[in-house]
Structure 1
Amino acid sequence: MNLTINASFLPHDDPDASLAFYRDVLGFEVRDDSGYDGMRWITVGPAGQPDTSIVLEPPAVDPSVDEGERRMIVEMMAKGTYARVLLATTDLDGAFERLEAGGAEVVQEPTKQPYGVRDFAVRDPAGNLIRVQEV
């Protein structure tokens, strides 16, 4: 079996702020930007990697999610505890400087972790945790 990761999903509560962050600060390509019934899905991904994407979506759009669960998801997003993604770069310090200059909320500056990885953490406009590790 030969499987690849095609797309992962992260919630957004402000599509324009999320678009600006992922496109202008992270430098991702916009692959799709579509809406339906007042909601908006934005697909972004790193240049040169057309088969790997992140879909920024409205929180809890699954019809099986009830109103209580939807409120809980929105509360967890506000605290930054709902979703996260791990990115990698060969230039950790440059990536950190770019995100910090772009206004990302810094959670942790570049640090050598006890388990051997050097990384940092920021939050996107919706509160999603983004860890970036050096490779």
Structure 2
Amino acid sequence: MNITIHSSFLAHNDPDAALAFYRDTLGFEVRKDVGYEGLRWITVGPPDQPATSIVLHPPAVDPGITDDERKTIVEMMAKGTYGGILLATKDLDGVFEKVQAADTDIVQEPTDQPYGVRDFAVRDPAGNLIRIQQQG
């Protein structure tokens, strides 16, 4: 059996800010930008990995979610505890310089972690924790 990761989902609360971060700061390509009833779903991904994407979606749009659950999701996003993803690059310092120059919320500068990787952490405009680690 061969299963691949096709898409991951991260919530956004400002589609234009999310687009600027993922496209302009991280260099991802926009694969889809779909609007429906005043909301936007934006699919982005690395240009050299066309089969792997991140879908940036409006929070709490599932019809099965209660109003209390929606409120909790919005509160967690505001605190930066709702979503996150781990990315990798061969040029950690170069990516960090670009991310830092974009006036983002840096959580941790490049650090050699005790578990054997070098990485840094940043929050995207919606508060999602993005860790980027040195690859190979």
- TM-score, scaled to structure 2: 0.98
Residue number in structure 2 paired with 1:40: 40
Unaligned stretches of 5+ residues in structure 2: none
Paired amino acid for 1:9: F
SS of the equivalent of 1:116 reads: coil
Looking at structure 2, the residues matched to 130 and 104 of structure 1 have their Cα atoms a distance apart, in angstroms, of 11
Identity of aligned residues (%): 71
Residues 114-125 of structure 1: pairs in structure 2 closer than 5 A: 114-125=114-125
Residue number in structure 1 paired with 2:130: 130
Shift of 1:38: 1.1
SS of the equivalent of 2:72 reads: helix
Paired amino acid for 2:67: E
- RMSD, aligned α-carbons: 0.5
Residue number in structure 2 paired with 1:62: 62
Residues 106-117 of structure 1: pairs in structure 2 closer than 5 A: 106-117=106-117
Looking at structure 2, the residues matched to 98 and 70 of structure 1 have their Cα atoms a distance apart, in angstroms, of 34
SS of the equivalent of 1:60 reads: coil
Dislocated runs of 4+, deviation >3 Å: none
Shift of 1:29: 0.1
Residue number in structure 2 paired with 1:81: 81
Question: Do structure 1's residue 8 and structure 2's residue 8 form an aligned pair?
Answer: yes
- TM-score, scaled to structure 1: 0.98
Looking at structure 2, the residues matched to 20 and 133 of structure 1 have their Cα atoms a distance apart, in angstroms, of 21
Looking at structure 2, the residues matched to 64 and 18 of structure 1 have their Cα atoms a distance apart, in angstroms, of 25
Question: Do structure 1's residue 92 and structure 2's residue 88 form an aligned pair?
Answer: no
Shift of 1:63: 0.8
Superposed CA deviations along residues 8-39 of structure 1, whole A, max 9, x for unmatched, are 00000000000111010000000000111111
Paired amino acid for 2:101: A
Looking at structure 1, the residues matched to 120 and 127 of structure 2 have their Cα atoms a distance apart, in angstroms, of 15
